[in-house]
Amino acid sequence: MVTTEIKLHEQKPARPDWLKVRLPAGPRYLELKDLMRGMQLHTVCEEARCPNIGECWGHGTATFMILGDVCTRACRYCAVTSGKPTTLDLAEPKRVAEAVRTMGLKHAVVTSVDRDDLPDGGAGLFAATIRTIHQLNPECAVEVLTPDFQGKDEHIRTVMDARPEIFNHNIETVERVFPHVRPGRSRYRVSLQVLARARELNRDGLTKSGLMVGLGETIDEIVQTMRDLRSASVDILTIGQYLQPTQKHVGIDRYYHPDEFARLREEGLALGFSHVESGPLVRSSYHAHEQSDALRARRTAS
C-alpha cells in the first residue's frame, strides 16, 4: 500500500494575487451578523473562516451550522473547534427556520459539526430543521451538508425522510491523502456509500459533494475522485483551493491556478455532473442558490 507523509507546520508557499479577498464589511453583512448573534445561531462561514463570507453575507446568504460549534473529530485541515460538545439544543430548528424567514431566503443551507457523541449522530436534529424550515418557508429549498453518520443507514434515512432538496456530503480530498488529513473515524469509501445511499432514498432530489485541492494530490487522482463521485450518482461538485487556517493545520502543497480550476470544471462536466463550481475561493455553499437551478430544471423536465 502506497502511503504519503503530510507534514504539519511546514512553511506554506506565498499566496498568489488571485487569492486575495476584501475584508467583510457593508450594511447587509453587519445586519446578518447581528441577526445570527441575536438568535444565538452559528454559521460555518465564521467557524471555518470562509474567504467568501463578505460576498455571501453581502448578498444575504449564509450557511447555518446546527448541533453546536464543537466537533468530535479533529480533521487536520479544519478550523472548527474540536473537543467535547455541549448538550443538544432542541429549540435550534425553530430559530434557524425563523432566521430563514426573516432573511427571505429561497435556498437555505444547513450544516453541522460531527457529533459522534450522539446516538444518532445528530440526524434527528437535521430532520427537524429541514421540516421546520419547510413548514415556515414553503417556497424555500433546503440543502443539507451532513457528516458521514459513520455510514449508518438508519441515520441517513432519518435525514432523507425529511426530504431535503439537496443532500451534500463532502468527500474533501482524494483517497490516498484522505487518511492523513481526516484521521480517526472518517473513511473515503464510507463517504461514497453515504452519497450513494442518499441518492437511493430520494430520487427526486440532488446530491452534491466537495473537494479541496492543494493537499499533495495529483490531477489524475482528482479525476479519479470525480469518477468515484459520479459512480455514487453525485449531481453537483464543488472544487476549491485548500487554505491553511493556522500553523497547527496541514500545510499547503501548492496553489492551483484559475486556469487549472477551469480545466477541472470542464473535466467534471464531461464526466456527467449537472453543475461544477470550480475556483480558488470556491467552498461547499458558494453560489448554492444558483446550483438549485439544476433542481428546478430536473423538476420541470419530469
pLDDT at 51 exceeding the cut of 80: no
* Mean pLDDT of the region 27-36: 65
Residue 8 in domain: no
38-51 mean pLDDT? 59
Residue 297 covered by a domain: yes
- The predicted model scores a pTM of 0.85
Residue 6 has pLDDT above 60, yes or no: no
Q: Judge whether 180 lies within some domain.
A: yes
Per-residue model confidence as pLDDT tens digits over 209-254 = 999 999 999 999 999 999 999 999 999 999 999 988 888 899 999 9
Q: Residues 256-276: pLDDT tens digits?
A: 999 999 999 999 999 999 999
Question: Nine-digit cell at 72?
Answer: 468530535
Q: What is the CATH number of the domain that holds 175?
A: 3.20.20.70
Range of the domain at 246: 22-301
Residue 1 in any domain: the answer is no
Q: Is residue 116 part of a domain?
A: yes
Q: Does some domain include residue 9?
A: no
Residue 165 lies in a domain: yes
- Split into its structural domains, the chain has a count of 1
Return all residues near 168 (Cβ < 8 A) that are at least 6 apart: 143, 144, 145, 146, 207, 208, 209, 210, 236, 284
Checking if the pLDDT of 17 tops 70, the result is yes
Q: Is residue 12 part of a domain?
A: no
Three cell numbers, residue 275:
453543475
